[in-house]
Each structure stands twice: as structure tokens, then as C-alpha cells.
Amino acid sequence: MIKIFSIVLVGVLLSSCSSLYLPNVPNTPMLRNKGEFNVDGHIGLKGNISANAAYAVSNHIGVIFSGAYVDQVKDKRDFTSDFMEIGAGYFTTFGEQKERVLEVYGGFGFGNSRRVYKDLTFDGPEITEIQDASLSKAFAQVNFSKNKKKDLKLFGSKFPLTYGTAIRVNYISMRDFTINNINAPLESNVFIEPLFFTRMKIGKNLNLQYTSGSNFGLIKNKNLKGGYTSLSFGIVYKM
């Protein structure tokens, strides 16, 4: 497990933001009953921040809301992006003790991205190119989680664990795209985004979550492309 974590971590640290689309941490509330409310926040190793909320309007129907933001400043390239999305779907529990949760959601979103390329000079960074894009998103995802039978024992205390996975399909398209304020060809892509998460319960309604995921683009593009491997850490509150 440690070896796998190390390999993924190295991949994340060596990767660069080469796409105008940076995936957020998908909403995986794992709802169980009517009236449940779930909110969580995550920060990734790229500095990207994701926030999610979900509410069970019935015993099987839930609505989800998500937002994401990143602001990277580097020597040769800056990257900023913001995204919002909304969706709804179906959830259910099964197993002898209802320890498994299955969710299916679909929805849409929109956002903006900017890349600023720079050259380093004796007088400081000099901007050579600015790319601005407005993006639209349609998505569908399936979430599955299972409570571990044995709790984690740490410092004389027991912490219940939950393991989960999600597979998301995103269709991302450009509404507008300019390079140095000049219109450029629009792009679109279909992204497959699998992820795995582990939750550790540290309070009655509070959990810590570790998430790892990947991003694969099905269309070969110059500006909207996959190839990301991401890690994030977050806090989950459910009541």
C-alpha cells in the first residue's frame, strides 16, 4: 500500500497543469436515508480546492452541488480555474447490515480557465501568451462504498473505516476560447475519471477522507486533454 502511494505521489508531483480542464473531487456523499445532509471540503497537492454538498430529498433520491477553484503561480506558467456543478440521482443501501451504498448521479456545470505563459528575463517574468476559456460540463457517475468490518485501532481508540470508489464520465466543451484576446478553435473532450477514497470516522458526524484519482481523455486535443493523477485530503460532515 505504501509503495503504491509513493508511486502515485511522485506522479502527481512531477505532473504539470497542461490542460485547461483540471478535475475537481467528485461528490460522493454516500447517502442512506431521507433528510441526510452531507458537506465536504478537499484540497489537492496541486493547490486545487473542492467543496461538495448533498441532500437526500427522499429515501432514494438525492441532489448534489459542487464547486472547485485553483490558482497556481509558477515561474513559466500560471493557471487559474473555477467550476460549479449541480446534479441529482438515485441511491440505495444493501447487504446484511446495509453496509454497502450505491449511488448514480447525473448533472451539468460550467466554469472558466486561464493559462498565462511567461518567459523569465533579467527584469522579471514577461508574459508571452494568455489563454482564456469558458467551459461547459455534462456528467454521469456511479459511486459505491462499503464499511470495513474491523475498525482502525490508533492511540488506544477505534476509528471506523469506509472504502469507496466512483467512476465519472465528463463531457467538457468550450463555449469561448481566446489566445491573446483573439478567437481560437474550440475543443471538446470526453473524460473518464475513476477514483478511490477512504474515510475514517473521527466523530459522531465527522470523517477524514483521502482520495486518489485519474483523468483520461478520449479525444486527442491540444488544450482539453487528460493525463492527470491527483491526490487530495478532506473533511466530511454528515448529519
Is the pTM higher than 0.85? The answer reads yes
**What are the tens digits of pLDDT across the range 66-118?**
999 999 998 889 999 999 999 999 999 988 778 899 999 999 999 999 999 99
Q: Could you tell me which residue, 3 or 73, shows the higher pLDDT?
A: 73
Full residue range of the structural domain in which residue 189 is found: 2-238
Q: What CATH number is associated with residue 124?
A: 2.40.128
**What are the tens digits of pLDDT across the range 166-175?**
999 999 999 9
pLDDT of 164 over the 70 cut: yes
pLDDT of residue 96: 79
pLDDT of residue 64: 98
* Segment 176-191 mean pLDDT: 97
Q: Could you tell me which residue, 149 or 228, shows the higher pLDDT?
A: 228
* Segment 199-228 mean pLDDT: 93
* Segment 47-69 mean pLDDT: 96
Q: Domain tally for the chain? A: 1
pLDDT of residue 41: 97
Q: Could you tell me which residue, 236 or 149, shows the higher pLDDT?
A: 236
Residue type for position 70: V
